[in-house]
Amino acid sequence: MTVLLSALAFFVLLTVLVLIHEWGHFAAARAAGVTVEEFGFGLPPRAATLFRRKGTRFTLNWIPFGGFVRLKGENAVTIGEQREKGSFASVSITWRIIILVAGVAMNYLLAIVLLTIGFSVGNWIPTYLSLDDMRAASDRGVIELSLAVMISDVLEDSGAADAGVPAKSILAAVDGEPVVVPEEVIALQEGKTQVTYTVKT
């Protein structure tokens, strides 16, 4: 069942991507003054004409996958037919490039919109602004959290250096008391002149 649902989701998603892509060509062609003879939902053979609008036939096709647009002049045989008013070849090179690139541009724009909505509204990746938030999420089982205090650097001629504490090691305990955040280290050292570190290298 999971495989079927995954296949159906992939099929639907790919169809949407193709239709958005073709709509990019369609919109750019309309803006350039090129006649869009057909906008097909699915692939030929044609099953039915849904409606006509501004010279474009919107059709439903038998192969229920993706879609296509057919621009005037695409299937023309003679140069005269190719250069007729409203044909793809009759517009400037700049417009032809825009029409060809518009499909990819629409897919790119769709990706930006979906990712923006997903990460800002849908919370696809949880975002935590404080350690308390992360701990609460860990308690709920949303994330796995493992805290530790890392000794990022050891000062020369310091007690830690004399004791051979290596940099980039983990400070596990102070005077036998486990520590997982720097605040705990500070609290356990307060008022003391000597402490014992337990270090994991």
Which residues are catalytic, by number? 22
CA separation for the pair 36, 45 (Å, rounded) = 18
Please name the helix (run of DSSP H) or strand (run of DSSP E) that holds residue 201, with its range, or none. Answer: none
Q: What is the spatial distance between Cα 72 and Cα 69, in angstroms, rounded to a whole number?
A: 10
129 contacts 63 by C-beta, under 8 angstroms: no
Residues 6+ apart with CB under 8 A from 117: none
CA-angle at 21, arms to 17 and 22, nearest 5°: 120
Give the tokens for residue 65: 């996958």
Cα–Cα distance for residue pair 33/94, rounded to 1 Å: 13
